[in-house]
Amino acid sequence: MHPVVRLVGQRLGIGLLLLLAVSVLIFVGTELLPGDVAQAILGQSATQVSLANLREQMGLNDPAYVRYFRWLFGVLHGDLGTALTNGANIRSEIADRLANTLFLAFWAAIIAVPLAISLGLIAVRFRNRWPDKLISGVTLATISLPEFVAGYILMFLLTVKFRVFSPISTIFPGMSLGDKLYAIALPVAVLVLVVLAHMMRMTRAAILNVMQSAYIETAELKGLRPFTIIARHAFPNAVAPVVNVVMLNLAYLVVGVVVVEVVFVYPGMGQYLVDHVAKRDIPVVQACGLIFAAVYIGLNILADVISILANPRLRHPK
């Protein structure tokens, strides 16, 4: 078997085992949530008999391991269950919400990834000079701000002070692409500010790490321009760590949007999850957690595979 195929197979196997372990943690975590979904549905005035009947109807009286394997069996067959609070099919509801979250993450990535790499290249080209210090200082300031703080600052400046955008980022079927982009401008800006610094600083560090190599000195002796050396010779050999950090931040754009979606009332997975955590709707919380974990693990596996393919030392470990 080819070494690359074997390494990819190992990563996929580890990813599946990790996802199984995460499913156990998600189930245990939801079991530890305070409150009772039956009480939340029927209200505080419900009698003990009605509560007991509803718990029996929803299967809440079964042992935990029975409910876990029943849930896992359904997930493996594409059935994420039914929401306890409204009886809706979770898979159908999540499909629309996940599409909205991916739409938001896609446009944030389209802006953040090229911008971060370009700023990293510029910072290396003008190392220890004012462009490098300015870029590093600004990105360090943005990465230090929590998402909700950055969101409220932008909301105040661009919706209250200057009235450029709407504070509520709502999209719905039938909207044109232009209207959707206008609606998500603020949450996209917040996500870009959050992930930009990490990617830029890793790009800068990875390129500086290879700038001391002999082939870089050879390129300099040939009289090549500094930016040409950085872009054509240093960056391709520093791509593996850059790919890893880009994938981690792309995973964050999908998994870590909960706070941003809640701040801007965006109809995505994060808002859906928070709404049903408040209602103690355990099947919805479990389904959202498992999807977030699958996306995060999948993008990490993709980062590993790309790093292996991009690095000859990893393709031929011997």
Give the tens place of pLDDT for each residue, 74-99: 888 888 888 877 778 888 888 888 88
Task: Examine the pLDDT at 187 and tell me if it is beyond 60.
Answer: yes
Residue 71, in any domain of the structure: no
What pLDDT was estimated at residue 317? Answer: 55
What is the model's pLDDT at position 36?
Answer: 67
Average pLDDT value over all residues in the chain: 84
Residue 279 · residue 85 · CB < 8 Å: yes
pTM: 0.83
* Gap between the Cα atoms of 202 and 209, Å rounded: 10
pLDDT score of 184: 92
Token duo for residue 224: 């090549």
CA distance 165 to 172: 17
Average pLDDT for residues 250-257, to the nearest whole number? 82
| Domain assignment present for 73 | no
For residue 198, tell me if it sits in a domain.
yes
Residues 6+ apart with CB under 8 A from 113: 199, 246, 250
Domain that holds residue 186: 90-315
Cβ neighbours for 205, distance < 8 A, ≥ 6 positions apart: 241
**C-alpha to C-alpha distance for 104 and 253, rounded to whole angstroms:** 8
Q: In this structure, what token pair is assigned to residue 87?
A: 């009886």
Provide the number of structural domains found in the chain: 1
- 169 belongs to a structural domain: yes
Give the CATH number for residue 148: 1.10.3720.10
Residue 267 lies in a domain: yes
One-letter amino acid identity for 156? Answer: F
What is the residue whose two structure tokens read 């360090």? 140
Is 42 part of any domain? no
Place 134 in a pLDDT band, splitting at 50, 70 and 90: very high
- Summarize pLDDT for 57-74 with one digit per residue, the tens: 777 777 888 888 888 888
Q: Does residue 254 carry a pLDDT above 90?
A: no
Cβ-in-10-Å burial (0-12, 13-18, 19+) of 8 comes to: middle
Return d(Cα 261, Cα 270) in angstroms, integer.
6
> What is the SS3 assignment for 282?
helix
40 is a domain residue: no
| Residue 25 counted as domain residue | no
DSSP state of 159: I
pLDDT at 35: 65
Asked whether residue 107 carries a pLDDT value surpassing 90, the answer given is: yes
